[in-house]
Structures are given as structure tokens and as C-alpha cells.
Amino acid sequence: MTKSGKKGEKVVLAYSGGLDTSVILPWLKETYGYEVIAFAAELGQGDELAGIKRKALASGAVKCVVKDLRKEFVADFLWPMLKSGAVYENGYLLGTSIARPLIAKHQVDVAHAEGATAVAHGATGKGNDQVRFELTYMALNPSLKIIAPWKDPNFALTSREAAIDYAKKHGIPIEQSKKKIYSRDRNIWHLSHEGADLEDPANEPKDDLFVISRPVSKTPDKPDYVTIGFHEGVPIKLDGKLTSSVKIIEMLNQLGGKHGNYLASPFDALTGFEYFKRQTPHTVLRVLRDKSARSARGPAVLVVEPGFHARLLRLVDAGVYAFEPFIG
């Protein structure tokens, strides 16, 4: 990790517009003297990227680059991951982790295009995200300097309360407050929540936590039915109609959210207890395993087209899964 930057040098920051990277952007300018280029990847975050260029510039960036990576994310990362059976702890579908190398890859591309000498990320020094980002940077261009503020002893914004105070002091637009303080990560494949009351595994999620999924008390009692058609282990049809991969996941997320599909998992004692919403991945994986997917209050059954189901179940038995939907 570099300790200082020369005036006029550029750094490309992996920027989501969330609390952490919102305060890291001006902090990089103050601490290292770099010109900061914000890079945001469109991975299916819903409306989270609305106004992100304006926000980045208002926070001190000299430029904000946004790339729509949804098709590449699904085709080159999600489907291969699911077909390989990459399911962590027999239930977690790698929603955050699978996206990091793709973000880092395009971040390096932006660094090359903009003549930047450094790249930066907002991952903490205690989790695995720092490794995902930094190994990708080093693999693609080992000459780039890597700035990781959370590993800098001078970085004091190590609590969300401190970050909120810093944002207010510097006039940085943020949505978080000390009462609305959850940390979230979202893409087309999942939505995770952590922090605040979720740090205690004994606490059930409050109704206002949910963004995609409905609380169980508000889910329907009757099931919905959808037919999914596959080709070579990849879903290509919904209800008999050829449908793009991105659209299939979006529609299954909507269906799963309606039925309140989500998962609670204290998967990492270091980073805290998280709630994951994975409609599309879990729904389809359950179909492949059980011929039906059950939501929190009854079945959301997916019927696989004739001819595919038996063959796919043999693949599942052999350890080759087709994909788990993140619903909700």
C-alpha cells in the first residue's frame, strides 16, 4: 500500500456510492494528494446508481466512470459458478465475492485508459474482499499502486458513526444516518445486510430491513408457478419464451421477493451477522434438487421443461449444480 501520491497523479477508486466509499473518496484527496477517478460497476443494484456521477463529482472526484457489466457478470461469472457447484457452507451462493474480481478487472482497465498510477478500494482489513480486489489488481497490472485506506493506521473512519460524522463535516451527500445504519451490498444475484441490530444473531430482522423481499407476515398464502427452460445447464426460457439471462434473474428475484425468500447466516464471525436475499439462485437450485422451491410461507414451485429435469438432476447428483437464485 502506497503512503503518498504525487500531486497530479491519478487513482481509480472502486466506488459504489455507499457510505464507505463516499467518505474514502475525499479522504484519498486529503491524505494522498491524488486526483480521484470514481469507477462504478452496474451489476443490477436497482436504483442505487441513480445520480452516482453527480454524487461522485460533488464528493471531490475529477471524473466518474460507470460501466454496465450485468451481461458479462451473468455469462462469465454467475452461470459458470453455479455449474461448478460453488456453494459456500452448503448454502451461501457467493453474491458479493463473485462480483469483486469483475469490478477489479474493469477498474484496472479504467486505470489504463485514464493514465492512473494507482487503484483503491474500500474493503476492510479483516475480511476477504481485500484479497479479491488486490489479487486481481496484481494479476492484471502489478505496477499499479494499491491504496487500501482501512489498512492505513491514519485512517480513523473505521466505524459507521465516524464515517457519518465525517460526511456531514465535509458536505458529502449520504443516505445513511445513525438510526439508518445498515451496511448493504447488492447486485443482480443477491442483497446482503449487516450491522446494527443484526450483529446479534439472536435478533430477527425487522420489517424495515427488507428491500427486495417482503417480510414473512406480508407474503401471499398461494404459490406462484413459473416454467424454466434450460440449454446445456443454463436457463434460457421463462414460461416457454426465450428470455435473456439478465431478465430471467430479475424476474425470478421479483417472484422470490414476493414470497419472502431470504437466508440468515453468521458465516463470518469477523465481519458480522448478515441476512442474504437470494431469490434466483436458491430457487433454481432447489428446483434441480427437489423439483420445487419453497418460500417462507409455502411453495413457489418452478416446473422444469420436459426432457431437461432428469438430465439436470443427474448433473446435480454428480456435484454439478445449475444455479441458486437470490430472491429478495
Q: How would you write 32-98 as a 3-class SS string?
A: HCCEEEEEEEECCCCCCCCCHHHHHHHCCCCEEEEEECHHHHHHHHHHHHHHHCCCECCCECCCCHH
Same domain assignment for residues 73 and 49: yes
Residue 298 domain-assigned? yes
Of residues 16, 20, 22, 295, which has the active-site annotation? 20
Residue 273 above 60 pLDDT?
no
Looking at the structure, tell me whether residues 89 and 112 fall in a common domain.
Answer: yes
User: Is the per-residue pLDDT at 111 higher than 90?
Assistant: yes
More confident residue, 131 or 8: 131
Q: Is the pLDDT of residue 319 over 70?
A: no
Backbone torsions φ then ψ of 305, nearest 5 degrees = -60, 145
Q: Would 165 be classed as within a structural domain?
A: yes
Is residue 271 predicted with pLDDT exceeding 70? no
* Together in a domain, 258 and 194: yes
Residues 124 and 188 in one domain: no
Q: Looking at 70, 129, 132, 213, which residue is catalytic? A: 129
Which domain-ending residue is among 112, 140, 170? 170
pLDDT value at residue 276: 44
Lowest mean pLDDT among 26-30, 162-166, 195-199: 195-199
Q: Are residues 206 and 284 in the same domain?
A: yes
Residue 49 has pLDDT above 60, yes or no: yes
Of 120, 145, 170, the residue that ends a domain is 170
Same-domain pairing of 312 and 193: yes
Claim to verify: residue 48 and residue 133 sit in the same structural domain: yes
Residue 5 lies in a domain: no
Q: Is 100 a catalytic residue?
A: yes
Choose, from 70, 100, 160, 278, the residue flagged as catalytic: 100
On the CB side of 286, CA atoms within 13 Å amount to: 20
Is it the case that residue 118 has pLDDT exceeding 70? yes
pLDDT of residue 231: 83
Query: Any idea what the CATH number is for the domain that residue 93 is in?
Result: 3.40.50.620
Q: Which of 22, 59, 183, 192 does the annotation list as catalytic? A: 183
- Can 20 be counted among the known catalytic residues? yes
With beta carbons less than 8 A apart as the criterion, state whether 64 and 161 touch: no
Residue 63 has pLDDT above 90, yes or no: yes
Has 160 been annotated as catalytic? no
Q: How far apart are CA 224 and CA 152, in angstroms?
A: 51
The answer to the question of residue 326 being in a domain is no
Lowest mean pLDDT among 143-157, 158-172, 279-293: 279-293
Q: Please indicate, yes or no, whether residues 208 and 73 belong to a single structural domain of this protein.
A: no
- The reply to whether 45 and 128 lie within a common domain is yes
Residue 327 lies in a domain: no
Question: What mean pLDDT is predicted for residues 101-122?
Answer: 97
Domain of 248 in residue numbering reads as 183-317
Regarding whether 110 and 243 lie in a shared domain, the answer is no
pLDDT: which is higher, 70 or 200: 70
How does residue 210 score in pLDDT terms, banded at 50, 70 and 90? confident
Last residue of a domain, one of 124, 139, 170: 170
| Highest mean pLDDT pick, 127-131, 184-188, 209-213 | 127-131
What pLDDT digit, counting tens, does each position of 64-74 carry? 999 999 999 99
Measure the CA–CA gap between 109 and 215, rounded to whole angstroms: 41
pLDDT of residue 314: 31
Q: How many folded domains does the chain comprise? A: 2
pLDDT: which is higher, 323 or 184: 184
pTM for this prediction: 0.78
Q: What percent of the chain has pLDDT over 70?
A: 70
The CATH number of residue 271's host domain is: 3.90.1260.10
Asked if residue 16 and residue 142 are part of one domain, the reply reads yes
For position 135, what pLDDT does the model report? 96
Q: Is residue 4 part of a domain?
A: no
Residue 200 a catalytic site member: no
What pLDDT does 14 receive? 97
In a domain, 138, yes or no: yes
Q: Please determine, for residue 233, whether its predicted confidence score (pLDDT) is greater than 80.
A: no
Residue 2 confidence (pLDDT) = 43
- Asked if the structure places residue 2 within a domain, the reply is no
Please check whether residues 25 and 109 belong to one and the same domain: yes
pLDDT of residue 70: 96
